[in-house]
């Protein structure tokens, strides 16, 4: 059966005639070394797809907005960059809110601006307005659906418009909040459908030379390994190259940090669950969720770490779970 052309184009980001043409010159590689990996965020390489997971209400949307600002202006807000690395390189960021209304997003951005602007230089304040792009589309828009007659996942007409916007902005980092809304027409428990969806997402990031971070939900209850926390098919974690998790502290972590349980209710842990292209997997930092929603670094009990050449004041901010 002949494939639909739009599906064929989404599956193969390059012309078929150009397929299998990207060969590695081993002599040149031995002489000058490999091309450096372009990380748009710690552990998140350009042209890859990642997920950030957490329970409803834990603060995922606040967290990714702060990550978006961090990348847009080049400011390491939580000290999550590796030791010896300067503040992140500024770059364009596109955040697409598919669930929350525009009034809510405006309130969050206004709160974050009032909290973060004092940490910015004049140049970074300019970059905030130039590099940060926010789109709110809470009218039930879905980017992918399952074409039942073909048994394949296909982009909707909205996806074509979305990709044109991305092509205009040329973001280093694209964030979709949430994956469940973007793929509302897909069975998240189907390995085949989710694999096909993420295959097309990978094709998209290659076409646009961006990185795509999808916000995802987690299963109910606790799990022994955070890699199993994602709700839906295991194809989601196996087909993405980065997994971040935001969650409450458990009893063991509260005890280890010697925190009063009443105070611990406002704390969350930001964890690099999986990073395929570096060694950040398992690293985490503790954040304090303020009453206004802003996530701030929690440094009441510093955790020892090898000092950074530049960020020695952040040396205690990460630890292995």
pLDDT in tens, 91-119: 999 999 999 999 999 999 999 999 999 99
Average pLDDT in the 55-70 region? 94
**What secondary structure letter does DSSP report for 263?**
H
Query: What's the chain's average pLDDT?
Result: 84
Assigned fold of 41-320: Rossmann fold (3.40.50)
The predicted model gives 3-15 an average pLDDT of: 47
Are 147 and 154 a contacting pair, CB within 8 Å? yes
CA dist 214 → 11, 76, 116, 153, 175 (Å)? 19, 21, 24, 17, 6
pLDDT band at 148 (very low <50, low <70, confident <90, very high): low
Helix (H/G/I), strand (E/B), else coil: 285: strand
Higher pLDDT among residues 321 and 98, named by residue: 98
Closest to 283 in 3D by CA, of 89, 83, 90: 83
Q: How far is CA 55 from CA 59, 68, 87, 174, 248, in A?
A: 8, 20, 29, 21, 9
The pTM of the full predicted model, rounded to 2 decimals, is 0.86
Distance CA 115, CA 89 (A): 21
- Answer yes or no: are the C-beta atoms of 167 and 208 closer than 8 Å: yes
Q: Which of 40-44, 84-88, 274-278, 307-311 is least confident?
A: 307-311
CA distance 286 to 121: 26
pLDDT of 240 > 50? The answer is yes
Left (φ > 0), alpha (ψ -120 to 50) or beta: where does 203 sit?
alpha
Which comes out higher in pLDDT, residue 3 or 58?
Answer: 58
* The residue to which tokens 């809470």 are assigned: 138
């Amino acid at each position: 059966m002949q494939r639909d052309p739009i599906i064929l184009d989404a599956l193969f980001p390059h012309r078929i005639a150009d397929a299998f043409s990207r060969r590695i010159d081993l002599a040149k590689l031995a002489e000058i070394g490999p091309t450096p990996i372009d990380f748009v965020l710690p552990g998140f390489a350009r042209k890859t797809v990642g997920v950030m997971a957490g329970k409803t209400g834990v603060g995922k949307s606040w967290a990714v907005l702060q990550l978006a600002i961090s990348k847009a202006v080049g400011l390491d807000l939580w000290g999550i960059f590796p030791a010896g690395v300067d503040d992140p390189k500024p770059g364009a960021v596109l955040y697409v809110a598919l669930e929350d209304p525009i009034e809510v997003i405006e309130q969050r951005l206004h709160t974050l601006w009032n909290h973060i602007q004092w940490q910015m230089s004049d140049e970074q304040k300019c970059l905030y307005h130039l590099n940060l792009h926010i789109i709110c589309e809470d009218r039930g828009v879905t980017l992918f659906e399952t074409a039942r007659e073909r048994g394949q996942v296909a982009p909707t007409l909205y996806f074509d418009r979305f990709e044109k916007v991305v092509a205009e902005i040329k973001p280093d980092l694209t964030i979709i909040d949430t994956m469940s809304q973007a793929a509302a027409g897909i069975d998240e428990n189907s390995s085949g459908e989710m694999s096909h969806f993420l295959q097309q997402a990978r094709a998209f990031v290659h076409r646009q030379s961006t990185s795509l971070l999808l916000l995802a939900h987690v299963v109910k209850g606790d799990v022994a390994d955070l890699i199993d926390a994602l709700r839906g098919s295991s194809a989601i974690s196996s087909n993405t190259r980065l997994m971040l998790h935001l969650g409450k502290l458990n009893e063991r972590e509260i005890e280890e940090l010697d925190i009063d349980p009443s105070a611990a209710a406002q704390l969350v842990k930001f964890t690099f669950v999986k990073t395929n292209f570096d060694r950040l997997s398992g690293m985490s930092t503790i954040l304090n969720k303020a009453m206004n929603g802003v996530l701030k670094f929690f440094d009441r009990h510093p955790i020892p770490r090898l000092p950074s050449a530049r960020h020695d004041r952040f040396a205690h901010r990460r630890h292995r779970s």
